[in-house]
Amino acid sequence: MAEDDAQAKEEAHAKAASGKKMLLIIIAGVLLLAGGGGAAWYFMGGGEDKPAEHEEHAKAEAGHEEPGPVMDLEPFLLNLADREELRFLKVSIKLELDRPEEKTDYQHKIPAIRDALLVLLSSKESQLLRTVNGKRRVREEIMTRVNGVMSKGKVANVYFTDFIIQ
């Protein structure tokens, strides 16, 4: 009988220890979930009232509030740099300025802008211009070249409205 009492005490002690472990695991799980939920709430916006710095950051990520004026360039018709075969490019480009036209020197720089773009585009091969990545790269190069020509104001975006390779 003494053995049965000792064994019963050990089992009761083991159950109590496992119950405490289970309770600690449950508490840790609840705390972990609560902490994760609180962190998610905080990083996802945390309610209606946002501090001003978060609003400014959101505006900066979205770009400018209103698009600037979009200026048309006369269409370009030019030879491409393909060696095997004579290829032509007809492209119409629109440039979005970062400020009103009156505050830029865009009108005075049109001849220099067209010259820079003719030199740039005529140096490209049709294989590059046929791909989406090639067009993106050329769009970035156009923006860089035009911004290098302009001294007041900058180009915010470049749009292709016609793009024909023949």
Task: For residues 15 and 55, give the distance between their C-alpha atoms in angstroms, rounded to a whole number.
Answer: 55
Residue 142 near residue 96, CB atoms below 8 Å: no
Residue 119 near residue 72, CB atoms below 8 Å: no
Question: CA 40 from chain center: how many Å?
Answer: 23
Q: What is the per-residue pLDDT for 93?
A: 97
- Does 151 have pLDDT greater than 70? yes
Instruction: Express each pLDDT in 2-44 by its tens digit.
Output: 566 666 666 666 666 677 788 888 888 777 777 777 777 777 7
Instruction: Express each pLDDT in 87-132 by its tens digit.
Output: 999 999 999 999 999 999 999 999 999 999 999 999 999 999 999 9
Segment 44-71 mean pLDDT: 61
**What is the residue extent of each domain of the chain?**
2-62, 70-165
pTM above 0.85, yes or no: no
The domain defined by 70-165 carries CATH number 1.10.3720.10:
no
Q: Where does the pLDDT of residue 1 fall: very low under 50, low under 70, confident under 90, or very high at 90 and above?
A: low
Three-class DSSP category at 155: strand
Instruction: Express each pLDDT in 61-70 by its tens digit.
Output: 555 457 889 9
Residue 155 near residue 69, CB atoms below 8 Å: no
Q: Where does the pLDDT of residue 135 fall: very low under 50, low under 70, confident under 90, or very high at 90 and above?
A: very high
Q: What is the per-residue pLDDT for 23?
A: 81
